Chain A
Amino acid sequence: MIIVKDLKRYYGTGETAVKALKGVSFEIKKGEFVAIMGASGSGKTTLLRILALLDDATDGEYTIRGLQVSSLPEAERSYYRLTQVGYVFQDYALINEMSAAENVYVLSMMEGKSRKKSYETALEALDKVGLKGKHKRIPDELSGGEKQRVAIARAIAKKPDILFADEPCANLDTNNSKQVLDVFKELNEKYGQTIVMVTHEPWHTEYVDRVITLEDGNLVSDEKKQKG
Chain B
Amino acid sequence: MINDIRVGSLIAYCSVKRGNKKTLMFIVFVLSLIFMNLVFLPSMIGGMTVLFTGMMQDYPYGDIVIEPSGDNTYINNADNVLQKVRAVEGVRAATKRLDVGASIEHKQKVVGVTVTGLLPTEEREVSRYPYIISEGDFLGDLSRDEIIIGAMIAGTGFGSEIYDNLGEVRPGSLVDVTYSNGVKRTYKVKGIMEGTFELVDLNALVNYKEIEEVYGLEESKATSVVVRVDKQGSEEQIQDKIREAGVNEQVFTWADKSETLIKQAMQSMGAIDVMSKFVSLVVGAALVLIIIYINVLNRKKEIGILKAVGITPRSIVLSYAFLSMFYVSLGIFTGLILYLTLMFYFQANPVTFYETMEIRPQIDPVLLIESIVTMLTLSVIAGILPAWSVSRESILKAIWGR
Interface positions of A (Cβ within 8 A of B): 49, 52, 54-55, 75, 78-79, 81-83, 85, 87, 89, 93-99, 102, 106-107, 109-112, 115, 138, 154-155, 158
**What residues of B have a CB within 8 angstroms of the CB of A109 in the complex?**
3, 6-7, 10
How far in angstroms is the closest Cβ of chain A from B283?
A: 30
The 8 Å CB contact of B14, one of A54, A85, A89, A97, is: A97
The 3 tightest CB contacts between A and B, nearest first, are A82-B310, A81-B310, A97-B18
Whether the Cβ atoms of B395 and A110 lie closer than 8 Å is no
Closest A residue, CB atoms, query B18: A97
**What residues of A have a CB within 8 angstroms of the CB of B302 in the complex?**
95-96
Q: Which of B1-25 contact A (CB under 8 A)?
A: 2-3, 6-7, 10-11, 14-15, 17-19
The 8 Å CB contact of A79, one of B7, B11, B310, is: B310
| B306 interface hit (Cβ, 8 Å) | yes
A107 to B6 CA separation, bound complex (whole angstroms): 11
Whether the Cβ atoms of A97 and B17 lie closer than 8 Å is yes
Given known A-B contacts A49-B396, A54-B395, A78-B313, A106 and B305 have beta carbons under 8 A apart: no
The 8 Å CB contact of A110, one of B3, B14, B394, B396, is: B3
Whether the Cβ atoms of A93 and B308 lie closer than 8 Å is yes
| B366 interface hit (Cβ, 8 Å) | no
**What residues of A have a CB within 8 angstroms of the CB of B203 in the complex?**
none
A171 to B2 CA separation, bound complex (whole angstroms): 38
| B277 interface hit (Cβ, 8 Å) | no
The 8 Å CB contact of A95, one of B14, B307, B313, is: B14
| B312 interface hit (Cβ, 8 Å) | yes
Closest B residue, CB atoms, query A151: B309
Whether the Cβ atoms of B308 and A54 lie closer than 8 Å is yes
Closest A residue, CB atoms, query B19: A97
A154 to B313 CA separation, bound complex (whole angstroms): 19
How far in angstroms is the closest Cβ of chain A from B9?
A: 10
**What residues of A have a CB within 8 angstroms of the CB of B50 in the complex?**
none
Given known A-B contacts A102-B10, A106-B11, A110-B7, A82 and B311 have beta carbons under 8 A apart: yes
The 8 Å CB contact of A93, one of B15, B312, B399, is: B399
A200 to B15 CA separation, bound complex (whole angstroms): 36
Whether the Cβ atoms of A106 and B7 lie closer than 8 Å is yes
Q: Which of B354-369 contact A (CB under 8 A)?
A: none
**What residues of A have a CB within 8 angstroms of the CB of B308 in the complex?**
52, 54, 81, 87, 89, 93
| B315 interface hit (Cβ, 8 Å) | yes
Size of the B side of the interface (Cβ < 8 Å), in residues, is 26
The 8 Å CB contact of B306, one of A49, A95, A112, is: A95
**What residues of A have a CB within 8 angstroms of the CB of B7 in the complex?**
106, 109-110
Closest A residue, CB atoms, query B302: A95
Whether the Cβ atoms of B315 and A110 lie closer than 8 Å is yes
Indicate the member of B311, B313, B394 with the most A CB atoms within 10 Å.
Answer: B311
**What residues of A have a CB within 8 angstroms of the CB of B2 in the complex?**
112
A107 to B311 CA separation, bound complex (whole angstroms): 7
**What residues of B have a CB within 8 angstroms of the CB of A95 in the complex?**
11, 14, 302, 305-306
The 8 Å CB contact of B18, one of A81, A107, A138, A158, is: A138
**What residues of A have a CB within 8 angstroms of the CB of B305 in the complex?**
89, 93-95
**What residues of B have a CB within 8 angstroms of the CB of A111 in the complex?**
3
Closest A residue, CB atoms, query B301: A93
Whether the Cβ atoms of A87 and B15 lie closer than 8 Å is no
**What residues of B have a CB within 8 angstroms of the CB of A158 in the complex?**
310
A55 to B397 CA separation, bound complex (whole angstroms): 10
How far in angstroms is the closest Cβ of chain A from B290?
A: 22
Whether the Cβ atoms of A110 and B399 lie closer than 8 Å is no
How far in angstroms is the closest Cβ of chain A from B305?
A: 4
A212 to B306 CA separation, bound complex (whole angstroms): 29
A112 to B17 CA separation, bound complex (whole angstroms): 23
Closest B residue, CB atoms, query A114: B6
Indicate the member of A83, A97, A107, A112 with the most B CB atoms within 10 Å.
Answer: A97
A-B contact pairs, 29 of them (CB 8 A): A49-B396, A52-B308, A54-B396, A78-B307, A82-B312, A83-B310, A85-B310, A89-B305, A93-B305, A93-B308, A93-B399, A95-B11, A97-B15, A98-B11, A98-B14, A102-B14, A106-B10, A106-B11, A106-B311, A107-B311, A109-B3, A110-B3, A110-B310, A110-B315, A112-B2, A112-B3, A115-B6, A138-B18, A154-B309
Closest A residue, CB atoms, query B311: A110
Knowing that A96-B302, A110-B315 are A-B contacts, what are 13 other residue pairs whose CB atoms are under 8 Å apart, sorted by A's residue number? Answer: A54-B396, A55-B394, A78-B307, A78-B313, A81-B310, A85-B310, A87-B309, A94-B305, A98-B18, A107-B310, A109-B6, A110-B311, A154-B309
**What residues of B have a CB within 8 angstroms of the CB of A55 in the complex?**
394-396
A107 to B3 CA separation, bound complex (whole angstroms): 10
**What residues of A have a CB within 8 angstroms of the CB of B394 in the complex?**
55
A94 to B14 CA separation, bound complex (whole angstroms): 13
- Binary interface profile of B, 387-402, with partner A (CB < 8 Å = 1, else 0)? 0000000111001000
How far in angstroms is the closest Cβ of chain A from B298?
A: 11
Closest B residue, CB atoms, query A111: B3
How far in angstroms is the closest Cβ of chain B from A88?
A: 10
Given known A-B contacts A95-B302, A97-B19, A82 and B3 have beta carbons under 8 A apart: no
Closest A residue, CB atoms, query B12: A97
**What residues of B have a CB within 8 angstroms of the CB of A99 in the complex?**
14
A162 to B342 CA separation, bound complex (whole angstroms): 62
How far in angstroms is the closest Cβ of chain B from A182?
A: 23
